[in-house]
Amino acid sequence: MKSIFKNVALITVFSVMTRLLGFLFRIFLSRTIGAQALGLYQVALSIFMVLLTVVSSGFTLIISRMTASYRVASDRKAIGSLVSTCIFIGLAVSIFLCVIILIFKSLFQNIFTDQNCMNILIILLPSLVFSSIYSVFRGAMWGTDNYFGLCVSELLEQVVKIVICVLLLASGMSAIQNAMAVAWSFTLSCLVSAFFVMLLYFFYGGKFERPTKVYKKVIRQSAPITGVRVLSSFTQPLVALILPARLIASGYTSGQAMSIYGVALGMTFPLLFLPSALIGSLATALVPDISMALVKNDSNHIEKRVKSSLSFAMFVSFLIVPVFIAIGDRIGLFLYNDALSGTLLQFSAWIMIPMGISNIASAILNSVGLEVKSFVNFVLGDIVMFLAIFILPKYIGINALIVGMGLSAVIASSLNLLMLKRKLKINIGLWKNLLLMSLISLPTVALTSFLSSVLSYILPNFLNIIISGLVGVGSFILLCVVFNLVNFSMYMVQFKAKFASKNAKTSKLSMKFKKLRKKK
């Protein structure tokens, strides 16, 4: 377990660094290329991500599992053969998908609301081939517990993407030229990361061996996982195709629809995923912990883990909701120089709460073997979202996406919690804390908004956001402690125990050292 938490800590640190760079890069793009170019790129990227899921999702996981099993048997030749075989499979699948896209180019042009999206998608296609190579070496290194190399390669990809994009972008370019420059930076960064992870594989002693018929086993085991993930990955491209079309049908021009979509998906909604770094790390550690408890039939341990994890996820999700509601408009203007992004952030902040609960509940369901049922809950939520973005744009415009995403998260989280209660036969008891945190958020919003309004007369926007945001977060934490909604004392006890054990070890070593000196 110490090894698992160490790996999770490593992944979390690099993940935060990579996401922070990505977040800053998105701010740079929104200010440099504009909302319309960002919208064009997002639409093309959403289609590409479905293709990428086919190439890499289940494939990487199965390679890592098989590599781990060969590693236990110290069969390095089998690992080399697996890697060689899977590279051929990955190249065949990725090239086939690229050819299909090019053959049916006219069909995809008719699907896109803006014809320029097809040109951007074509620029992204080579990165599908590079990613197929990357996913094989990534799976092999994952199976050998080489998390450091994987984390470094992901961080390098982000850095290369940013550097290339900054070099390619120039003043006076049109929206489509800007979007194509961003696409080229994505493709070239995928090339660099694939080459780098291949070098790492050989650096750590990896080899190529003669391909074998192991491809049958790889395809058979990865197909179900890939199928489920491909179905779930269709959500964003369908939204990217349906929502702009419905906005245009409601009276928007094509340029206006793409700009609003770019603001929502490229500027506002990435901020809603800020709690996912902490919740994702918790989920990574939680899955093996609960799986082991199931094997031991330790129901008491499972109940404690489920309740504490859900409470923690809800607390993390709630933490910055009042701040976003109170000063989201100022945040949007500061980060993106866009008033609409800030307004949308204020309206959509509440979505983080059911989204965080759904994420951790889904991870727990995965650990108890209910992946398919969790996926069904996800699909049911998405059906409601698609109905919302199809019907509501005529009445509330882009806010239809906020309503749809919110309803989807509420439905998925509610069904996941109900399934957990039935499967594990425990009383989760989450609703009381949910109600109390919602009530606590009201004075926090009022305090943060009032303080921000006062500070606006004496401080620049940046300092205003920092001070009022910290006060808002601090007041919410204080109220949670007062009403006993989050228990920090447990972590303090653990820290003191760990600190005491370290002191005990240090004192023992010093005593031994003194005895040795006396003998000498």
| For helices 339-348 and 254-263, angle between their N-to-C axes, nearest 10 degrees | 60
pLDDT over 50 (residue 495): no
**Average of per-residue pLDDT values in the chain:** 79
pLDDT band at residue 492, thresholds of 50, 70 and 90?
very low
Listed by start position, the domains of the chain span 1-233, 269-487
Q: What mean pLDDT comes out for the span 452-465?
A: 91
**How does pLDDT run across 11-57, given as a tens digit for each residue?**
667 777 887 888 788 778 877 887 778 778 888 888 888 888 888 76
Q: Which amino acid is at 358?
A: S
**How does pLDDT run across 270-316, given as a tens digit for each residue?**
888 877 766 765 655 555 455 556 556 666 766 777 777 788 788 88
pLDDT over 60 (residue 161): yes
Which string of b and e fits 423-433 if b means at least 16 CB within 10 Å? ebebebebeeb
Percent of the chain with pLDDT over 70: 80
Q: Can you list the pairs that 471-477 forms with residues at least 24 positions away whose Cβ atoms lie under 8 Å? A: 471/447, 472/322, 472/323, 472/326, 472/327, 472/444, 472/445, 472/447, 472/448, 473/319, 473/320, 473/323, 475/443, 475/444, 475/447, 475/448, 476/318, 476/319, 476/322, 476/440, 476/441, 476/444, 477/319
Cα separation, 466 vs 2, in Å, equals 36
Q: What is the pLDDT of residue 38?
A: 79
Evaluate whether 281 touches 6 at the Cβ level (below 8 Å).
no
Q: What mean pLDDT comes out for the span 126-148?
A: 82
Which string of b and e fits 203-220 if b means at least 16 CB within 10 Å? eeebeeeebeebeeebbe
pLDDT over 50 (residue 242): yes
Strands, E assignment, 130-211: none
Residue 383's CB is within 10 A of a number of other CB atoms, namely 11
Contacts of 121 (CB under 8 A, 6+ apart): 44, 47, 48, 101, 108
pLDDT band at residue 7, thresholds of 50, 70 and 90?
low
**How does pLDDT run across 250-275, given as a tens digit for each residue?**
888 888 888 888 888 778 888 888 77
Global pTM reads 0.66
**How does pLDDT run across 59-93, given as a tens digit for each residue?**
676 777 677 777 766 777 888 888 888 888 888 88
Rg (CA), the chain: 25
Q: What is the pLDDT of residue 498?
A: 46
Q: What mean pLDDT comes out for the span 332-347?
A: 87
Q: What is the pLDDT of residue 71?
A: 73
Contacts of 17 (CB under 8 A, 6+ apart): 155
Q: What is the pLDDT of residue 327?
A: 92
Q: What mean pLDDT comes out for the span 419-427?
A: 79
pLDDT over 50 (residue 123): yes
| For helices 299-319 and 399-424, angle between their N-to-C axes, nearest 10 degrees | 160
Q: What is the pLDDT of residue 518?
A: 55
Percent of the chain with pLDDT over 90: 17
The 3 state secondary structure assigned to 480-515 is: HHHCCCCCCHHHHHHHHHHHHHHHHHHHHHHHHHHH
Most confident stretch, 146-160, 292-306, 401-415 = 401-415
CA 239 to chain centre: 18
